[in-house]
């Protein structure tokens, strides 16, 4: 198989689509060539200190939890 015949990865497609956009922080792969904003550094430090470095629950679970909370609040009225 020739290298030219290989398909791009999805992350490469995302990177290519956003490469020249000034409003997108380039976190798709590798190390960015811009200084990381202080808010992101602070959030990363906070997550490390609290040992919150794992993937979060899938969105549908968070959505279900929010719905349960809203229903509970409504029933309490």
Domain boundaries, the chain: 3-76
Q: What burial letters (b/e) apply to 26-43, b meaning 16+ CB within 10 Å?
A: eebeeeeeeeeeeeeeee
pTM of the predicted structure, to 2 decimals? 0.37
Write down the pLDDT at residue 5.
Answer: 80
Low-confidence ranges of the chain (pLDDT < 50): none
- Residues 15, 25: Cα–Cα separation, whole Å: 10
Write down the pLDDT at residue 77.
Answer: 53
Write down the pLDDT at residue 1.
Answer: 63
């Amino acid at each position: 198989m020739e290298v030219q015949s290989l398909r791009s990865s999805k992350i490469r497609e995302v990177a290519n689509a956003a490469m020249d956009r000034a409003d997108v922080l380039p976190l798709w792969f590798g190390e960015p060539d811009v200084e990381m904003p202080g808010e992101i550094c602070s959030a990363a430090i906070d997550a490390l200190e609290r040992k919150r470095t794992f993937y979060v629950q899938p969105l549908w679970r968070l959505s279900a939890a929010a719905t349960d909370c809203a229903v509970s609040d409504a029933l309490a009225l």
